[in-house]
Amino acid sequence: MVDGDTRTGDAGLALGMVMVRPVRDTQAEAFSQELIAGIDEAMSSAGGSFLVKIVGDEESELETYRHWAATARIGSVIIEDLTVTDGRLALLGELGLDVVVSGDLDLAGDRPAIWTDHSRAMRLAVLALHDLGHRRIARVSGPTQFRHSLARSAAFVEVTKELGIRPLEAIGDYSRQSGAAATRELLDREHPPTAIIFDNDLMAVGGLAHATESGCAVPGDLSIVAWDDSVRCQISDPPLAALSHDVRQIGEMLGAAVVEAQRGRTVRDETPPPTLVLRGSVTAPRPTDD
């Protein structure tokens, strides 16, 4: 449930999650919706409750945790999008709230964690493009303060180095506008990429829009892959290739980890590997691009 009351008065089985999202993207973000549905299903099956709070900035997130601890309405929280200098784990420890981490095992310490192998996913996308003949492959990352952005960037550099090609990178902020701006910057380079991997679907849609408006044919001149699959990827023109994660299952795993933690068992498990769904936005590069 979102921004509502928990369904039980037992804080031990009451789970909270705060999502920091720009207001304009909240309703459209399919990833978050699927994740919430999976967590809620796992908690409901165990007789627990789940409260989601969507806020606009980090300070509001921290204030929400303080409020939950003070009112004793929440016993456990899930945190995501861990940053390089993340202070939430320390605060939640001081507040006495149990934590399940969605992300980095190193930062999770001995806490329950559900993690994704970003290296394997990045390798899957880069190798698929390379097999098609692409030798100028770029990546548009999300904000570099996020640990998962750094993990994906490291994997991108590693696999391109193994293949003997130069990694091209630009940075976005997950918005459609930043995807368009990053695409413009990459295509304006002396040797522009023939393929771009975007860190989410919104940036990929923005990149596609800029490429089309600037006369760059997709997929003829530029192939595009989005990190997260969504309806917007499927209905784009052309439909966007995407790394497809079973987001609902990831949510169920997080919810189950919370339930197991309440039973005294610490779950540390890897999410199912993604699949690469090839659609109309990807093809072999033109012969002149080899």
**Over its length of 290 residues, how does the chain's per-residue pLDDT go in tens digits?**
334 333 334 455 799 999 987 655 544 466 788 899 999 999 999 999 999 998 988 999 999 999 999 999 899 999 998 888 889 999 999 999 999 999 877 778 889 999 989 999 999 999 999 999 999 999 999 999 999 999 999 999 999 999 999 999 999 999 999 999 999 999 999 999 999 999 999 999 999 999 999 999 999 999 999 998 988 899 999 999 999 999 999 999 999 999 999 889 999 999 999 999 999 999 999 886 44
Regarding whether 195 and 83 lie in a shared domain, the answer is: no
Regarding whether 214 and 81 lie in a shared domain, the answer is: no
Regarding whether 184 and 139 lie in a shared domain, the answer is: yes
- Could you please report the per-residue DSSP string of 244-256? E--HHHHHHHHHH
Regarding whether 112 and 99 lie in a shared domain, the answer is: yes
> Domains in the chain: how many in total?
2
Q: Is residue 1 a part of any domain in this protein?
A: no
Q: Is residue 4 a part of any domain in this protein?
A: no
First CA to last CA across the chain, in angstroms?
51
Regarding whether 109 and 145 lie in a shared domain, the answer is: no
Nearest to 2 by CA among 55, 65, 79: 55
Q: What is the CATH number of the domain that holds 131?
A: 3.40.50.2300
* pLDDT for res 33: 85
Q: What SS3 state is found at 130?
A: helix
Regarding whether 160 and 80 lie in a shared domain, the answer is: no
Regarding whether 40 and 92 lie in a shared domain, the answer is: yes
* pLDDT for res 22: 64
Regarding whether 144 and 90 lie in a shared domain, the answer is: no
Question: Hey, what are 204's tokens?
Answer: 């990929």
Task: Give the angle 42-44-46 at the CA atoms, nearest 5°.
Answer: 75
Is residue 220 within 8 A of residue 8, CB to CB? The reply is no
Is residue 194 within 8 A of residue 135, CB to CB? The reply is yes
The domain in which residue 19 lies consists of 11-116+245-272
Q: Is residue 263 a part of any domain in this protein?
A: yes
Q: What residues does 244 pair with on adjacent strands?
A: 275
Number of CB atoms found within 10 A of residue 244's CB: 16
Regarding whether 101 and 44 lie in a shared domain, the answer is: yes
Q: Is residue 199 a part of any domain in this protein?
A: yes
Q: In what order do the strands lie in the sheet with 195-198?
A: 168-171, 137-141, 195-198, 223-226, 241-244, 275-277
Q: Is residue 5 a part of any domain in this protein?
A: no
Nearest to 172 by CA among 138, 192, 206, 143: 143
Distance, in Å, from the CA atom of 63 to the CA atom of 16, rounded to the nearest integer, reads: 13
Regarding whether 70 and 185 lie in a shared domain, the answer is: no
Distance, in Å, from the CA atom of 118 to the CA atom of 115, rounded to the nearest integer, reads: 9
Is residue 232 within 8 A of residue 30, CB to CB? The reply is yes
Regarding whether 143 and 19 lie in a shared domain, the answer is: no
Reported as half-sphere exposure (CB side, CA atoms, 13 A), residue 212 has a value of 11
- Could you please report the per-residue DSSP string of 144-186? TTBHHHHHHHHHHHHHHHHHT---EEEE--SSHHHHHHHHHHH
Q: Is residue 134 a part of any domain in this protein?
A: yes
Is residue 115 within 8 A of residue 103, CB to CB? The reply is yes
CA dihedral (217, 126, 188, 172) in degrees, to 10, reads 110
Question: Hey, what are 251's tokens?
Answer: 């949510």
DSSP code, position 236:
S
Q: Is residue 198 a part of any domain in this protein?
A: yes
Q: Is residue 217 a part of any domain in this protein?
A: yes
* pLDDT for res 29: 63
Query: What stretches of the chain show up as alpha helix (H) in DSSP?
Result: 30-45, 58-71, 88-95, 105-108, 118-131, 147-163, 176-187, 201-213, 231-235, 247-262
* pLDDT for res 8: 38
Regarding whether 99 and 38 lie in a shared domain, the answer is: yes
